[in-house]
Amino acid sequence: MTMEINNTDLSEKIPPSDETDLSGSGAFDDSKLVKLNGIISQGLNPYPYKFEKNEDICEILNKFEDFEENEGLSVRTAGRLYNIRKHGKMIFADLGDQTGRIQVLVRKGNLPDEEFETFKNLVDTGDIIGVQGGIFRTKRGEDSISVSEFILLSKSLCALPEKFHGLKDVETRYRKRYLDLIVNAEKREIFVMRSKLISEIRRFLAEREFLEFETPVLQNVYGGANARPFTTFHNCLGQTLFLRIAPELYLKRLVVGGYEKVFEIAKNFRNEDIDTTHNPEFTMIEVYEAYRDYNDMMDLTEGMVSELVFKLTGGYEVKMGENTINLRSPWRRISMEDALKEYAGLDVFAHSIEELKKIAIENRIVDYEKAKSHGEFLALFFEGLVEDKLINPTFIYDFPVENSPLAKNHREKEGFVERFELFLNGWELANGYSELNDPLEQEKRFEDQDKKRKLGDLEAQTIDYDFITALGYGLPPTGGMGLGIDRLTMILAGLESIKEVILFPQMKRED
């Protein structure tokens, strides 16, 4: 066993000592602690500082494509050990890194006897090692590395889940995501896809000359969406602050300042229920472009998502449960009013408010008593009777003014605003407007929201007077759009729970 430590001296070796505390945490495996003590007793460092890894495992596996030419070629790599199989003078194991897994063979005779015994008795599943050796193919056709030297890089003190069952407990997977990633390679691929998705979003917008900016997470006044905020207190300033619920009002300030194409990939925080499609901390992108309207933003959203899906999956169809969703353009566009008529057979404007209340009761619509107008009932019935039926990508446009305080009044329909939402798999994925740029109308809308908030609507927006002032300096006609990155990742990966695509989802604290 080559246990030499690069760039070290003898002072790094750890002498055995009766005073060494190896009791550790209750999570540590006793047998692994014994092996750690055995390594230390040999005067070796079980946690060296560095290893020169020349190739990823994926690169090594590619060399087997021309095996006849490369047979015996020496390679040098590192990773975690899985599934150790001992057969007398030969030990087989799987070595895994970020890119893949390969079999390694540790054979007595290829190593000095004492080093072979050290590997056999003190190295086990979960340890991270570096190896060097020649590539070969077993009689069974297994691509492998014959180890001529190795170095222990990190001694694992916690036992991995049993080989054949893996880590199946959902709560453990979410609370100990690091363990989930160690043993479930397919879960790692989800977050690789998520990382590539964010990179592709940036590329798509950069190619269209959008600039990425960062706006405050701690805000004096929260706004940009109807949501209950998280509240904190700044000791130095002596004032209450809020975690942002959206970057919208700051990004539109940038458009006022002269930037015509802006976006932000933002962490937002909303003090709301946790379910399969909601997490209190989530990621979204917001995009604003001057001299555009909501029709242009639907075009931008469709073009971006469709292209991203093709680049990341190689096609336009994704599987969600029993549904196959086709994201090839063009996507359907239908007004909220017409969608309610088509999917639920209901025309809210053909009924009185009292009749609508009775219809709501018959259909078990939640919170119907909060609706006071036809527009509010339209949005309420759409949410309760239509949303879950929208499986293939569908733009729902033209919303009632009552629940859209930041959108511009419709140019043709009184009582409506120029707003859209994109639905896939029955979920809202994106939301966009022709942005309201009349400062007097915006002030009135904020005041209406503030009245609702004071009457007990904890999700109503507050009045941001500085934003109103910014509009007073002139916001050009602007189109805006926000898109949920977590939910888009769910669509691409075919997953039904948002916790599967957030590395560390919010969980109730364990006692």
Question: What residues form DSSP beta bridges with 463?
Answer: none
Distance CA 99, CA 425 (A): 32
Smallest CA-to-CA distance from 46 within 70, 27, 73, 20 is with 20
C-alpha atoms less than 13 angstroms from C-alpha of 271 in its C-beta half-sphere: 12
Instruction: Please indicate if the annotation marks 459 as binding a ligand.
Output: no
Show the CA angle centred on residue 170, arms to residues 506 and 58, nearest 5°: 95
- Asked whether 276 and 498 are in contact (CB, 8 A), the reply is yes
Instruction: Please indicate if the annotation marks 264 as binding a ligand.
Output: no
Distance CA 129, CA 8 (A): 18
Show the CA angle centred on residue 181, arms to residues 92 and 320, nearest 5°: 120
Strands (E) in 321-407, as ranges, are 323-326, 332-335, 394-400
Residue 508 is classified by DSSP as P
Distance CA 1, CA 127 (A): 15
- 264 three-class SS: strand
Buried b (16+ CB within 10 A) or exposed e, 384-416: bbbbeebbebbbbbbbbbbbbbbbbbbeeeeeb
| Tokens matching residue 449 | 């929201």
Distance CA 429, CA 312 (A): 18
Residue 235 is classified by DSSP as T
Instruction: Kindly state the helix (H) or strand (E) to which residue 25 belongs, with its residue range.
Output: none
Whether omega for the bond prior to residue 229 falls within 30 degrees of 0, making it cis, is no
User: 10 Å Cβ neighbour count for 108?
Assistant: 16
- Asked whether 71 and 135 are in contact (CB, 8 A), the reply is yes
Strands (E) in 384-449, as ranges, are 394-400, 416-424, 427-434
Q: How far is CA 57 from CA 96, 110, 111, 146, in A?
A: 7, 21, 22, 14
- 239 three-class SS: strand
Q: Specify binding-site residues for Mg(2+).
A: 421, 428
Q: Specify binding-site residues.
A: 421, 428
